[in-house]
Chains A and B, each alone.
Chain A
Amino acid sequence: MDLDHTPEEEEFRARLREWLAKALPTLPPKPSPDDWPGRRAYDLGWQRMLYDAGYAGLHWPVDAGGRGATPTQHLIYLEETEKAGAPYVGANFVGLLHAGPTIVSEGTAEQRARWLPPVLRGEEVWCQGFSEPDAGSDLAALRTRAWRDGDEYVVSGSKIWTSHAEVANWCELLVRTDPDAPRHRGITWLALPMDAPGITVRPLRTLAGSTEFAEVFLDEVRVPVGHRVGAENDGWRVTMVTLSYERGTAFVGEVVACRRVLGALARRARENGRWDDAVLRRRLGRLNAEFRALWRLTQWNVGEAQRTGAVPGVGGSVFKLRYSHARQELYDAAAEALGPEALDLGQEWTLDRLSSLSYTIAAGTSQIQQNIVAERILGLPKGR
């Protein structure tokens, strides 16, 4: 057990802090949640700044255009950018955290060269077309079909809950290429250009009021065979690579953010007098324990990844289960600290409270995560 950082790591942190202090004041004002072109430009602009400063693809391997940083340096990066109030990945989420890493580990040299640099430079946005109306938790039930026609696949079907679809250049798409094979063996992973003829995007409004995701309808859309990552019908395995990244690292910066919110909450409660309420105070104390522990668990997982070089495994499910609930509790406590102002959509925390409701659903529901923990870590039998 050694929680200290090496001198190199501390130096990395110091340089990053210095850069953030200079770079953040030059950012343009944040666009409104409904201004998608504005959001895209803002998120890509930030990514470009990171690229120019040498922080893009920090922990990606050097031969994939990354900087080859260690998981610990990546953790420091996430910690410091969040502490400094830097923008979150936003529209770069899928490119940097899902599709990108998948192409890094499964793509050919040509595919890496085509798709990775524009993600790192902040030029192209990706979205994730996995879920379908009849395939959510049961992703392997997906029915969007792809037929081979010469050098192309012809794709028809529909996707749903596709975040950032409106502004994406590419979609990591799961399609069924062999309807007769066992469910998990007939799926293929394709990179779909979002400007191809036959694609209709219909935005969906979330309960928070803005349009964060969309339905995507595919009507005989043609995709070159060269856009397939991994072998035909091997898409399920390729997908599992993506999902392990999603659960493993996607929430790291957010834990730091939650700790910041907790501090701000205490400040607010002191200002409005609610801090005198021992019940609220103790509730916030408990949340402090919660997020401290989640941060430690993150460090633990990262240390493990650094030592073994493995992709984040099912341990990510343990983290995700606890974190998603803790985040919801945080904003419930925020509502208690705010009092009636918690009903005002003009309060930042009111919108955050609404968004937090998706955390136990997106990226695998809590029920599914509990199945994973019980079956894959504890070895309990599969069943109904």
Chain B
Amino acid sequence: MDFQLTDDQKALRSGVRERLAARFGRDALRAAVDEGPPRLDPALWRELGEAGFFALRLPEAEGGVGLGLPEAVLVFEEAGRVLLPGPLIATHLAAGAVAGAATGETVVTAVDGGLVEWLEAADTVRGDATGAEPLASVDPLTPLHRVPAPPARDLQAGRDGVVRLLTSLLTAAEQLGSAARTCELAVQHARTREQFGQPIGAFQAVKHLCAQMLVRTEVARAAVYAAAVTADPVDVAAARLLADEAAVRGARDCLQVHGGMGFTWESDVHLHLKRAWVRTYRAGGATESEEILSGDLSAAIA
């Protein structure tokens, strides 16, 4: 029993990190934010496809990379760190089922609850997007549409259930990456910004904000990696809840540590916060996770 990454997993993570730094570094992120209405770069999407981002878990016999959920979690964590835009999870989950998804030639999005991300950029929409109305999305890099609520049915069952489970897990991985990143940003700033003749990180009030960011991140990391191994719905719900919290509160605290600079458009902090907010709505969000977790307690009784 060991959470230690294998050498292959470490190599995968550093490979993805390098590739994303080269292809979607800070300049690219800021350019994407400032270029006006968000659009998906088809070249980037195909490159992600070539790198195996979408075909990662597809069996090798079907042209995939043949890896598992732990590897997918590591990759999506990296995507979350750099705020990589696009319907990444929907396309990843469509690999093998929708032609061209695995290679990144087809952009796939999915209706999730009352929302669809990246509707206009998508070549294929899974689910019924009839009557979709655009929202003025809070996240500058995630266009959103509202769709009328679907008729009630059992969302945990069958293929829907699997998609929800994996959407939740990979969302948790993205949130984890964002949480770790905002913790780093806060610590970097706290070490260098000086007030009252010392780095602000020497003040305990600041120090303790940073310490709690790390604690939330590491607790979430243990939950997310474990859920990636077990794929158990209760483990996934726990991972999701803790990762959502780590990302949202991490971004908030990071903003606080940055002071007025944190409130500016120029800082990246708000981009992490806004994306984290968008992600919290996926696959039923906190309400669904909490009900799954309390259902688990109750099931132990029955």
Contact = CB atoms under 8 A, between A and B. Distances in A.
Interface in B1-21: 1-6, 9
Interface string B241-263: 11000000000000000000000
A102 to B, nearest CB: 27
B300 A263 contact: yes
Contacts of A321: 211-212, 215
B87 to A, nearest CB: 27
Interface stretch (B29-37, B91-99, B127-135, B197-205): B197-205
B299 to A, nearest CB: 9
Contacts of A380: 187, 190-191, 199, 201-202, 206-207, 210
Contacts of A307: 2, 4
A373 B293 contact: no
Given A263-B301, A304-B4, A367-B204, A288 B211 contact: no
A368 B198 CA distance: 21
A3 B229 CA distance: 7
Interface in A1-21: 1-5, 9
Chain A contact-residue range equals 35 or more
A288 B293 contact: yes
Contact of A367 (B208, B215, B218): B208
A303 to B, nearest CB: 4
B290 interface: yes
Contacts of B230: 3
Contacts of B225: 1, 296, 300
Interface string B274-288: 000000000000010
A327 B207 CA distance: 23
B189 to A, nearest CB: 11
Given A318-B218, A370-B212, A286 B4 contact: no
* Most chain A beta-carbon contacts within 10 A, residue among B2, B210, B223, B289: B2
Contact of B218 (A297, A303, A304, A371): A297
Interface of B, helix, strand, loop or mixed by DSSP:
helix
Given A289-B241, A367-B204, A378-B211, A1 B4 contact: yes
Contacts of A275: 298
A299 B223 contact: no
A303 B4 contact: yes
Contacts of B292: 285
A205 interface: no
B267 interface: no
A294 interface: yes
Interface residues of B, number: 56
A379 B301 CA distance: 46
A292 interface: yes
A289 B202 contact: no
Contacts of A25: none
Contact of A371 (B4, B207, B229, B290): B207
A299 B226 CA distance: 10
B234 interface: yes
B2 A303 contact: yes
Contacts of B218: 297, 318
A1 B5 contact: yes
B223 A300 contact: no
Given A1-B9, A300-B3, A285 B211 contact: no
User: Which residue, B201, B215, B223, has most C-beta atoms of chain A within 10 A?
Assistant: B215
A362 B219 CA distance: 22
A270 interface: yes
Contacts of A373: 211, 214-215
B238 A293 contact: yes
Contacts of B5: 1
Interface in A251-287: 262-263, 265-267, 270, 275, 281-282, 284-286
B55 interface: no
A39 to B, nearest CB: 31
A306 interface: yes
A306 B2 CA distance: 9
B219 A285 contact: no
A262 B215 CA distance: 22
Contacts of B208: 367, 370-371, 374
Interface string A295-319: 0110110111011000000000010
A370 B253 CA distance: 15
A343 B6 CA distance: 51
Contacts of A304: 3-4
Contacts of A282: 287, 290-291, 294
B210 A374 contact: yes
A303 B1 contact: yes
Contact of A289 (B204, B215, B238, B301): B238
Q: Which among A9, A302, A370 has the greatest number of chain B C-beta atoms within 10 A?
A: A370
Contact of A303 (B3, B6, B206): B3
B223 A381 contact: no
B301 A296 contact: no
A211 interface: no
A270 B287 contact: no
A370 B207 contact: yes
A359 to B, nearest CB: 15
Given A286-B293, A374-B211, A383-B198, A292 B1 contact: no
Nearest to B228: A1
B215 A375 contact: no
Nearest to A315: B218
A304 B214 CA distance: 18
A4 B292 CA distance: 24
Given A299-B3, A303-B4, A292 B204 contact: no
B219 A293 contact: yes
A322 interface: yes
A282 B1 CA distance: 31
Interface in B30-66: none
A293 B222 contact: yes
B249 to A, nearest CB: 13
Interface string A351-372: 0000000000000000101110
6 contacts: A293-B238, A297-B222, A300-B222, A307-B4, A370-B212, A374-B207
The 6 closest A-B pairs by CB, nearest first: A383-B202, A285-B293, A285-B294, A289-B238, A285-B290, A266-B297
